[in-house]
Amino acid sequence: MEHELEGWTILLVDDDLDNQALITQALTFYGADMVTAVNGVEGLATLAALKPTCILLDLSMPVMDGWAMLEQLRLSSDNQNIPVIALTAHAMQGDEERVINAGFDGYIAKPIDLDSFLDALKRMGSRRAGTT
């Protein structure tokens, strides 16, 4: 169970350093290599040298929020196929549908429940590998 994300490189873009630390520690425990950024501008710059397995993207950040980063990401032929999961502390009814319609591959509300979070990552990985 500890190595379920072995071989994954995950880019976490979140301005909340406590969330970064918690998610990084948890996913590193499960075998993922973690790279972090604090806003969309840093996240996009990181992608110049990194092709992650997936991106965990906070929606509400200063400088460039997750919505704008996703829009820029999808314009790049090099990065448009990277799965992106939205993270948000402002979960309201209808938000998940809006997020998926905007082009995100998944939606996770904060505070994060680790079990459902890992399940969502594994499902996304299975879809990506074509093993449903």
Mean pLDDT over the full length of the chain: 85
pLDDT digits (tens, 9 = 90+) for 64-95: 999 999 999 999 888 888 999 998 876 667 77
Q: What CATH number does the domain containing 96 carry?
A: 3.40.50.2300
Given this model, what pLDDT does residue 129 score?
46
* pTM attached to this predicted model: 0.87
Residue 50 domain flag: yes
Q: Would residue 58 count as lying in a domain? A: yes
* Helix ranges (DSSP H) in the chain: 17-29, 40-46, 66-75, 95-101, 114-129
What pLDDT shows up at residue 119?
A: 79
Q: Does residue 31 lie within any of the structural domains?
A: yes
Give the contacts of 54 (CB within 8 A, at least 6 positions apart).
Answer: 8, 10, 11, 82, 83, 84, 85, 105, 121, 124, 125, 128
With residues binned 3-state (H G I as helix, E B as strand, rest as coil), the percentages for the chain, rounded to 5, are 40, 20, 40
| Domains identified in the chain, total number | 1
Long-range contacts of 27-34 (CB under 8 A, 24+ apart): 27/121, 29/2, 30/1, 30/2, 30/3, 30/4, 30/5, 30/118, 31/2, 31/3, 31/4, 31/5, 31/6, 31/7, 32/5, 32/6, 32/8, 33/8, 33/9, 34/9, 34/10
| More confident call, 2 vs 23 | 23
Residue 37: per-residue pLDDT: 97
Answer yes or no: is pLDDT of 126 > 80.
Answer: no
Whether 3 is covered by a domain: the verdict is no
Domain span at residue 48 reads 9-129
Answer whether residue 4 is part of any domain: no
Distance of CA 18 to the CA centre of its chain: 16
**Would you say residue 65 lies in a domain?**
yes
Q: Is residue 84 part of a domain?
A: yes
Residue 69 included in any domain: yes
3 state SS of 97: helix
